[in-house]
């Protein structure tokens, strides 16, 4: 019994296709998706179409990510997202999703349990089972805290874009990393496989190469660098280097703003200092 685990795709449908090929090649029995399907890269509907195809051809499980929560909140309650600001990235994503896409993400649970006869149950979530925005990283002390809230011996989660596993006593946490926007230095799609060896689940963390420049071209053709302030520039540099330039830029802009509120001018200045913008 083998599971393929995909998380944090962020509209990178080209990387997703490469990972689907990898899962096909290895013959995974169940495909597990941990949220943050869209935003950041272009053409979110293409990612959603790949998910619908996967659903028809394979046993699949899906949970919701925080990006899905943002989009649904905008859909239901409105927001101040605007083109020309970093929020233009989310607005572009929302405007390029269909009613079917929104219905699909709205139908997803925050957490679920995979029960397969003869194997240990596995809990799945985006950040933590009780909240999507919980960032688990190696050694940041949160994995043991979150595992304490989980009954099952294995927890699968994403969100932190950090591919790692952590064993705490009898329990195992597995983060497959980010399929679409990896940030840990290797510019390839990240995913994981889990294999039942007759006694326990054994994780394998995997990198899958894909055509990064095709993703960048599509973002440029979609006009994302013009309508998202510095955001798409951060994403492009991040795709090429697997470094989280978006976070660096936000952190530096925050420092530049000091005690005042961060403006677009602070973000542009930060992006120039970091070599993200010329
Ligand atoms: Fe996330």
CATH number, domain of 20, equals: 3.60.21.10
Sheet holding 111-114, edge to edge: 111-114, 122-125, 154-156, 171-175, 164-168
210 pLDDT above the threshold of 90: yes
Q: How confident is the model at residue 139 (pLDDT cuts 50, 70, 90)?
A: confident
Final residue belonging to a domain, choices 170, 187, 208: 208
Mean pLDDT of 241-256: 96
* Alpha carbon distance 278, 185 (integer Å): 23
Share of the chain above pLDDT 70, in %: 100
Looking at the fold, whether 156 and 252 belong to one and the same domain comes out as no
What's the 116 CA to ligand 1 centre distance in angstroms?
27
278 pLDDT above the threshold of 90: no
What's the 8 CA to ligand 1 centre distance in angstroms?
6
30 pLDDT above the threshold of 90: yes
Looking at the fold, whether 252 and 179 belong to one and the same domain comes out as no
Task: Report which of 148, 138, 154 is spatially closest to residue 194, judged by C-alpha positions.
Answer: 154
Range of the domain at 33: 2-208
- Give me the number of domains the chain comprises: 2
With contact defined as beta carbons under 8 Å apart, do 41 and 235 qualify?
A: yes
What's the 201 CA to ligand 1 centre distance in angstroms?
24
Q: How confident is the model at residue 243 (pLDDT cuts 50, 70, 90)?
A: very high
What's the 129 CA to ligand 1 centre distance in angstroms?
13
- Asked whether the whole model's pTM tops 0.95, one would answer yes
Residue 191 CB contacts under 8 Å (≥ 6 apart), including other chains: 4, 5, 6, 7, 19, 22, 23, 176, 177, 179, 206, 208
Looking at the fold, whether 153 and 248 belong to one and the same domain comes out as no
Looking at the fold, whether 13 and 103 belong to one and the same domain comes out as yes
What's the 221 CA to ligand 1 centre distance in angstroms?
25
What's the 126 CA to ligand 1 centre distance in angstroms?
7
- Average pLDDT of the chain to the nearest whole number: 97
What's the 118 CA to ligand 1 centre distance in angstroms?
32
What's the 141 CA to ligand 1 centre distance in angstroms?
19
Mean pLDDT of 57-83: 98
Looking at the fold, whether 105 and 18 belong to one and the same domain comes out as yes
What's the 64 CA to ligand 1 centre distance in angstroms?
9
Residue 278 inside a domain? The answer is: no
Question: For residue range 101-136, what is the model confidence (pLDDT) as tens digits?
Answer: 999 999 999 999 999 999 999 999 999 999 999 999
Looking at the fold, whether 149 and 66 belong to one and the same domain comes out as yes
């Amino acid at each position: 019994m083998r599971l393929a685990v995909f998380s944090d795709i962020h509209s990178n449908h080209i990387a997703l296709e490469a990972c689907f090929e990898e899962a096909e090649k290895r013959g995974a029995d169940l495909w597990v998706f941990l949220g943050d399907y869209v935003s950041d890269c272009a053409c979110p509907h293409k990612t959603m179409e790949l998910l619908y195809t996967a659903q028809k051809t394979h046993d699949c499980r899906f949970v919701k990510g925080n990006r899905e929560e943002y989009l649904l909140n905008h859909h239901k309650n409105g927001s101040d997202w605007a083109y020309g600001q970093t929020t233009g990235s989310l607005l572009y994503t929302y405007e390029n999703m269909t009613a079917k896409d929104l219905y699909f993400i709205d139908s997803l649970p925050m957490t679920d349990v995979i029960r397969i006869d003869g194997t240990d149950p596995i809990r799945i979530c985006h950040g933590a089972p009780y909240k999507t925005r919980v960032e688990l990283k190696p050694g940041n002390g949160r994995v043991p805290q979150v595992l304490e809230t989980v009954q099952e011996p294995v927890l699968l989660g994403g969100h932190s874009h950090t591919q790692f596993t952590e064993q705490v006593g009898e329990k195992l946490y597995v983060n497959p990393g980010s399929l679409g926007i990896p940030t840990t230095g290797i510019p390839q799609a990240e995913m994981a496989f889990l294999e039942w060896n007759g006694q326990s689940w054994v994780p394998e963390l995997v990198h899958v190469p894909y055509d990064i420049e095709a993703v960048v071209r599509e973002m440029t053709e979609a006009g994302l660098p013009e309508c998202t302030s510095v955001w798409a520039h951060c994403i492009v540099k991040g795709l090429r280097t697997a470094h989280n330039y978006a976070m660096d830029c936000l952190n530096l802009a925050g420092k530049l703003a000091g005690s005042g509120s961060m403006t677009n001018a602070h973000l542009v200045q930060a992006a120039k200092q970091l070599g993200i913008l010329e």
